[in-house]
Chain A
Amino acid sequence: MIRILSILVGLFFTLALVWSFGIGAVNFASEGLPHTAETRFHEHPKHLHLASDGPFGKFDKQQLQRGFQVYKEVCAACHSLNHVAFRDLSQLGYNEDEVKAIAAGFQVPGVDPNTGEATTRAGMPTDYFPKPFANDIAARAANNNAIPPDLSLMAKARHDGAAYVYSLLTGYQDQPAELLKDFPEAKTGPGLHYNPYFANLNLAMAPPLTGEGQVEYSDGTKSSVDQMSQDVAAFLVWTAEPTLEKRKQTGWPVLGFLLFLTVLGYMAYRNVWADKKH
């Protein structure tokens, strides 16, 4: 009885699937795969190699400092860095005084100790990076109706994060003539910028890194657009996971210990089972 019921239920599901499959197949045969500007012109991120890559990866502190400089002088105008505090910057190799000086260079929200009114004060190492806009409405109003996303976790919040940031920053270009010919309706709208590394190809952010010398690196590195993009991508890998280096360094002794334990366990197993065929 149960088997007859089960066969009937199985056939019911199969029939429903054949029905769905049939309609789907007919639609597919008549329409084919959707053909849009995105499916044809969207590109995967370019290759980017950073010192923090791979199982032995370590942060290149010099590069992180340069990346921080790019963030501070360019990106910070619109993008917040909510999860990073000034004190964290000591991990980039800045000493205590330098961290204090950097923090003091930012105005953070505060309270007037006499009147209790909202005001601003110079930042301290314990403060977090201040937000560039008071709220989302202000952010939209200033940015062509798009909210500049927080950058703290950007390197983890996109596929191939660091390479994506690097590709996006160096990927601005004119719309290919072919695209305009085949998809006239996909012409980049006013206030938008064509970038094949962005999911829908049109980005509200104007090219932020435009020319050599936009940031004057304190370590004397030549600040080409490519260099600045790599540096800020490296910096965002750090902001997304400051513990990355410690994680990889911890991993090796752990794996070494487990390997030792496993070999020891295997030898014990062979020993225990030596007289038992199985």
Chain B
Amino acid sequence: MSFPWANEYKPSHPFMQWMDEKLPLPRFVYNAIGAGYPVPRNINYWWNFGVLALVCLALQIVTGIVLAMHYAPNALVAFDSTEHIMRDVNWGWLMRYAHANGASAFFVVIYIHIFRGFFYGSYKAPREMVWLLGVVIFLLMMATAFMGYVLPWGQMSFWGAKVITGLFSAIPIVGEPLQQWLLGGFAPDNAALNRFFSLHYLLPFVIVGVVVLHIWALHIPGSSNPTGVEVKSESDTVPFYPYFIAKDGWALGGFLFLYCAVLFFAPNYLGHPDNYIPANPMSTPAHIVPEWYFWPFYAILRAFTFDFFFVPAKLMGVLAMFSAILLWFFLPWLDRSPVRSGHYRPTFRKFFWFGLIPAMAVLFYCGGAPAEEPYVMLSQIATAYYFLHFLVVLPIVSSVERPDPLPFSITEAVLGKDENAALEAAE
């Protein structure tokens, strides 16, 4: 679907006309990311991160395929083959650093993309399906990133794999057999490394598939915008090409600049030194920490320190950690406010900026810190707020809050009332 005023694809070259009859792929592209896709004119820079995420995914797949040509997924040589890539493969160090930091860049972009959605209510009707698919992509990304981190077979790879698969052992009765089945053994070893490599190669292509669905679902209602008011007329939109190609283009340049600054001058800053020590099942690192992008959820996992009635603390932590992400699936129905954008929701906005954002910041910090006081108590407070925000505050606030008046249309929000009237008179 598209708006009635969307530009129509009219190939002029005979070959393109022939092509359009046989396989209208150019028409498809034209309508998806060309002049045939009308986009709200007022979307701000927070809307650039969808395209940036797509670029990150492409970058990860390309560098990953090259790395897989040189990497050996065998517990005996995996660590050495990674060092072989760093030292002997032509530009191998660039590929590996680009891939490792690319994962971090991808998560930076995706977290901004998700929080854009939280603030502007992008998950609300008619875009629930876009949101649901987005959460699926995020879950797939987490699984892929976790398995990718295991591949160099360093100390953190090994112990990370042990801790994360150990989470499943918290499930009553089937837990332990389930963990052994996942690992293919009693502890992470060659069987686990091999299947993680296989899945780490497979899942990115599954992500590509879900991304296609995500964008498809997006193109049915069209992009949301900072006012949260739906598109009403042609003056509300501009064609994706050239307007947003140009805007995304220069944003991409800036993003790549920052990414390369880290990649070339601080490539190990986001990693952990222990992963340059070969995996050793006999020696446990002093602090086992996952990569930074898992820290909020790791903090939630570790926040439950004592058994709660009949639920063991570990099971409680695992339940909470998975619930923390799975509850996002219910967001479109928990937040019942008809107003989408946080700009027009004064109460929601306060909870967002002074509640959710600080809680996430604390969770990020505490997830990377050792499991000691005061970090444990801090993460308990932040975790409690996290759940209260989504499960209690959102449903209640959205039914009692009085939103600010919305602009009549996107054009009015951009041009002001009088100019809008002038524009309509001129048309």
Binding site for B on A (CB under 8 A): 2-3, 6-7, 9-11, 13-21, 23-25, 28, 33-34, 55, 82-83, 88, 149, 152-153, 156-159, 161, 199, 240-243, 246-248, 250-251, 254-255, 258-259, 261-262, 264-266, 268-269, 271-273, 276-278
User: Are A273 and B303 interface neighbours, CB within 8 A?
Assistant: no
With beta carbons under 8 angstroms apart, the residue of B242, B268, B308 that contacts A16 is B308
Cα distance, A114 to B268, chains bound together (Å): 48
User: Are B391 and A28 interface neighbours, CB within 8 A?
Assistant: no
Contacts of B246 in A (CB 8 A): 265, 268-269, 271-273
Cα distance, A156 to B246, chains bound together (Å): 41
User: Are A14 and B388 interface neighbours, CB within 8 A?
Assistant: yes
Contacts of B327 in A (CB 8 A): 6, 9
Cα distance, A143 to B274, chains bound together (Å): 23
Mark interface residues in B191-230 (1 if CB within 8 Å of A CB, else 0): 0000000000000000000000000000000000000000
Contacts of B97 in A (CB 8 A): 247
Closest 5 CB pairs of A and B: A251-B264, A10-B391, A265-B250, A262-B253, A157-B276
Most buried by B among A3, A157, A246, A261: A3
With beta carbons under 8 angstroms apart, the residue of A3, A14, A199 that contacts B384 is A14
Cα distance, A261 to B305, chains bound together (Å): 51
Residue B24 lies at the interface, judged by CB distance under 8 Å to chain A? no
User: Are B303 and A243 interface neighbours, CB within 8 A?
Assistant: no
User: Are A265 and B265 interface neighbours, CB within 8 A?
Assistant: no
User: Are B42 and A268 interface neighbours, CB within 8 A?
Assistant: no
Contacts of A269 in B (CB 8 A): 246-247, 249-250
Cα distance, A182 to B108, chains bound together (Å): 46
User: Are A20 and B305 interface neighbours, CB within 8 A?
Assistant: yes
Cα distance, A6 to B333, chains bound together (Å): 10
A20-B313, A28-B373, A247-B267 are contacts. A10–B260 as well, Cβ < 8 Å? no
User: Are B306 and A254 interface neighbours, CB within 8 A?
Assistant: no
Cα distance, A153 to B373, chains bound together (Å): 33
With beta carbons under 8 angstroms apart, the residue of A18, A156, A255 that contacts B276 is A156
User: Are B395 and A6 interface neighbours, CB within 8 A?
Assistant: yes
Residue B169 lies at the interface, judged by CB distance under 8 Å to chain A? no
Contacts of B162 in A (CB 8 A): none
Residue B142 lies at the interface, judged by CB distance under 8 Å to chain A? no
Contacts of A83 in B (CB 8 A): 80, 83, 87
Cα distance, A240 to B275, chains bound together (Å): 13
Contacts of A258 in B (CB 8 A): 253, 256-257, 260
Contacts of B252 in A (CB 8 A): 265
Cα distance, A7 to B327, chains bound together (Å): 12
With beta carbons under 8 angstroms apart, the residue of B80, B265, B376 that contacts A248 is B265
Contacts of B414 in A (CB 8 A): 277-278
User: Are B377 and A25 interface neighbours, CB within 8 A?
Assistant: yes
A-B contact count (CB 8 A): 172
Mark interface residues in B107-118 (1 if CB within 8 Å of A CB, else 0): 000000000000
Q: Count B interface residues, CB 8 Å.
A: 66
Cα distance, A207 to B265, chains bound together (Å): 34
Separation in Å of the B198 CB from the closest CB of chain A?
A: 27
Show 6 residue pairs from A and B whose CB-CB distance is below 8 angstroms, ordered by the A residue: A6-B327, A20-B380, A157-B274, A159-B273, A243-B86, A269-B249
User: Are A259 and B330 interface neighbours, CB within 8 A?
Assistant: no
Separation in Å of the B255 CB from the closest CB of chain A?
A: 9
Separation in Å of the A203 CB from the closest CB of chain B?
A: 15
Contacts of B267 in A (CB 8 A): 247
With beta carbons under 8 angstroms apart, the residue of A25, A199, A247, A276 that contacts B238 is A276
User: Are A3 and B260 interface neighbours, CB within 8 A?
Assistant: no
Mark interface residues in B319-331 (1 if CB within 8 Å of A CB, else 0): 0100100010010
Cα distance, A82 to B87, chains bound together (Å): 12
Residue B261 lies at the interface, judged by CB distance under 8 Å to chain A? yes
Cα distance, A180 to B336, chains bound together (Å): 64
Cα distance, A88 to B88, chains bound together (Å): 10
With beta carbons under 8 angstroms apart, the residue of A15, A20, A28, A247 that contacts B93 is A247
Residue B383 lies at the interface, judged by CB distance under 8 Å to chain A? yes
Cα distance, A17 to B388, chains bound together (Å): 11
Cα distance, A117 to B174, chains bound together (Å): 52
Cα distance, A247 to B83, chains bound together (Å): 16
Contacts of B392 in A (CB 8 A): 6-7, 10-11
Residue B62 lies at the interface, judged by CB distance under 8 Å to chain A? no
Given contact pairs A20-B380, A33-B372, A156-B273, a sample of 11 additional A-B residue pairs in the complex whose CB atoms are under 8 Å apart:
A14-B388, A25-B377, A28-B373, A157-B276, A159-B273, A242-B87, A247-B93, A251-B263, A262-B253, A268-B246, A271-B246
User: Are B264 and A254 interface neighbours, CB within 8 A?
Assistant: yes
User: Are B42 and A13 interface neighbours, CB within 8 A?
Assistant: no
Separation in Å of the B154 CB from the closest CB of chain A?
A: 9
Residue B94 lies at the interface, judged by CB distance under 8 Å to chain A? yes
Contacts of B264 in A (CB 8 A): 247-248, 250-251, 254-255
Cα distance, A272 to B246, chains bound together (Å): 7
Cα distance, A149 to B283, chains bound together (Å): 13
Cα distance, A2 to B395, chains bound together (Å): 10
User: Are B387 and A268 interface neighbours, CB within 8 A?
Assistant: no
